[in-house]
Amino acid sequence: MATTGLVAVVSHWVHMSDTANSVMLLVGLAVGVDYCLFYLRREREERAAGRDAQTALRIAAATSGRAILVSGVTVIVAMAGMLFTGIAEFKAMGLATLMVVAVAMVGSVTVLPALLSLLGERVEKGRVPFLARAKRKGNGESRVWRAVLKRVLRRPKLSLALAGGALIAIAVPAVSMNTANLTMDQEFGDRLPVIAAYQHIDEAFPGGPDPAEVVVKAEDINAAPVREAIGRFRADAVAKGASKGPVEVTFHTKENLAVLQVPLIGGSDEKKSERSLAVLRDEVRPATLGAVDGVEAPIGGSTASSKDFNDKLGSAVTPVFAFVVVFAFLLMLMSFRSLTIAVTSIVLNLLSVGAAYGILTAVFQHGWGAGLVGAEGVGAIVSWLPLFLFVILFGLSMDYHVFVVSRIREGWLAGRTTKDAVVHGVVTTAGVVTSAAVIMVAVFAIFGTLSMQSMKQMGVGLAAAVLIDATVIRGVLLPAAMTLLGERNWYLPKWLGWLPDMTHDEAALTQPPAPAPAAVAPGYGPELGDRPRHARI
């Protein structure tokens, strides 16, 4: 609600859209639920360990609160990558999502602890009796994940090879990914009446129902050279195979404009119509309208719009990927003061994104299991989705990663071995990570049930990636890799010592509470020499 108000203000200066609002709601709920779950779980764990409500809250602020800040900044950086596309729709989505993450982050370290402080022990009011009895093993640890980790860490090399190999195999189909702006029959299938009408129009009118539009602007549209150039353009468009005609022209003398309607050969077939568009732009226009001084003749229409959008998007992929990866790497490096953790974080998150790409390509492009999600015959991935998924998934994956690794580092600082710290960190965060992932997968899966293929692809891609990230990545690959690396997990070269230090020694705050003073039974005590004072009431 707060971000909706902020977006309303910002929309007076920056283009916003309904899509940006939908994505903002989706991401805002995802990270907001995550942050609250992590903070609440840690506060309850500390109270269960015997600390009073205020002390538990301070520890939660120093541990989970810090992790929320690191995670939030990392997600914001990922979302900011969309601002580098140069496309208004992506800029709107990027701005709206980074704003909602910032609001969720600030609220989670201010409003949430303030509310918990006011509630104190009353935060436990209203617990569901059945769930309250379902205790976890020791200090909030998950029995299920402890059993999984036992098998993973028994043979970490084998676990790493099997899980990593499986994700790489899943990602392989993404190499042949074909992106396109989906046509109406691809987007909605051929069962709706409106699609049948669209197909009839496509068959009845040469070049399809949406021809290319050439807008000719000149100082004097009635000048002989301009009229002659327009005539030659109409003739050459047919002669050079870009159109079968007729090429219609409408003059707007008062505005000194002329609009040419050019039905492209290929019609709704994107590849063929793009070839026709290339002939118009590269051959016909330069030889006719382009040869007259002072004449402007941009070529638009749905085919041109799709082609230009894809080209703009393609040119933005490299800078967006580089920006997100480099800044996420630097943030992890400064937050954990470890080159190893920073590198493994990036590799594991890229592997998660690659697996999501592979699933999308296999299902929606190659049709493997497409019938299960109602995606028969699509044959392509909607053009905007890969970049959008990369930014969203990278942000959400780093969200989980920061929380798990923070807990592992905390255990290591408290004096545990790396292997013990890994087990402690994973099993104590697994429950809340799994709970948050289940919520997100359920929300994303709803999009997978929609009739629009673009929304279906987005839902399936997000749901699959979050599921893989919360299980295979966090439960197998991360613990196996960190166990094999051992003390090298905490390696930072001396030449990187100049980097800002964003670490925080949580271990000092999280030591077990001191036991209550022992009551001494008669006959025991220092006055009787070395006999133990063990009788405690």
pLDDT digits (tens, 9 = 90+) for 150-189: 888 889 999 999 999 999 999 999 998 888 777 666 666 6
Q: Residue 532 — pLDDT band, cuts 50, 70, 90? A: very low
| Position 528 in a domain | no
Query: Which pair of tokens denotes residue 297?
Result: 């003749």
Same domain? For 260 and 372 the reply is no
Closest by CA to 84, choosing from 309, 318, 311, 307, is 318
Dump pLDDT digits (tens) for 485-526.
Answer: 988 988 888 888 777 776 655 545 555 554 444 444 444 343
pLDDT given for residue 533 in this prediction:
34
* Cis? peptide before 515, omega within 30° of 0: no
448 three-class SS? coil
Read off the tokens for 111: 């409003």
Residues 225 and 253 in one domain: yes
What is the count of structural domains for the chain? 3
For residue 231, how many other CB atoms are within 10 A of its CB? 12
Which residue range(s) make up the domain with 313?
A: 146-187+309-504
Helical residues (DSSP H) of 361-502, grouped into ranges: 385-413, 418-447, 453-468, 478-485
524 CB neighbour count, 10 Å cutoff? 14
Inform me whether the pLDDT recorded for 106 exceeds 70. Answer: yes
Predicted confidence (pLDDT) per residue in 464-495, tens digit: 888 898 889 988 999 999 999 988 988 888 88
Looking at the fold, whether 319 and 424 belong to one and the same domain comes out as yes
Whether residue 191 has pLDDT greater than 60? yes
Tokens of 164: 């990593």
Examine residue 101 and state whether it is found in any structural domain, yes or no.
Answer: yes
What digits encode the pLDDT tens for the residues 283-316?
999 999 888 888 999 999 888 888 888 888 888 8
Q: Which residues contact 183 (CB under 8 A, 6 or more apart)?
A: 268, 270
Whether this model's pTM surpasses 0.85: no
User: Is 335 found in the same domain as 473?
Assistant: yes
User: Are residues 349 and 216 located together in one domain of the fold?
Assistant: no
Same domain, 107 and 71: yes
Mean pLDDT (the chain) is 82
User: Residue 35 domain-assigned?
Assistant: yes
DSSP conformation class of 243: B
Residue 222 sits in the same domain as residue 327: no
- Let me know whether 156 and 233 are in one domain: no
Is there a single domain that holds both residue 55 and residue 174? no
Gyration radius (Cα) of the chain, Å? 30
Both 183 and 328 in one domain: the answer is yes
Question: Considering the domain boundaries, does residue 200 fall inside one?
Answer: no
Please indicate, yes or no, whether residues 152 and 115 belong to a single structural domain of this protein: no
Q: What is the pLDDT of residue 141?
A: 62
In a domain, 141, yes or no: no
CA dist., res. 49 & res. 457, Å (int):
45
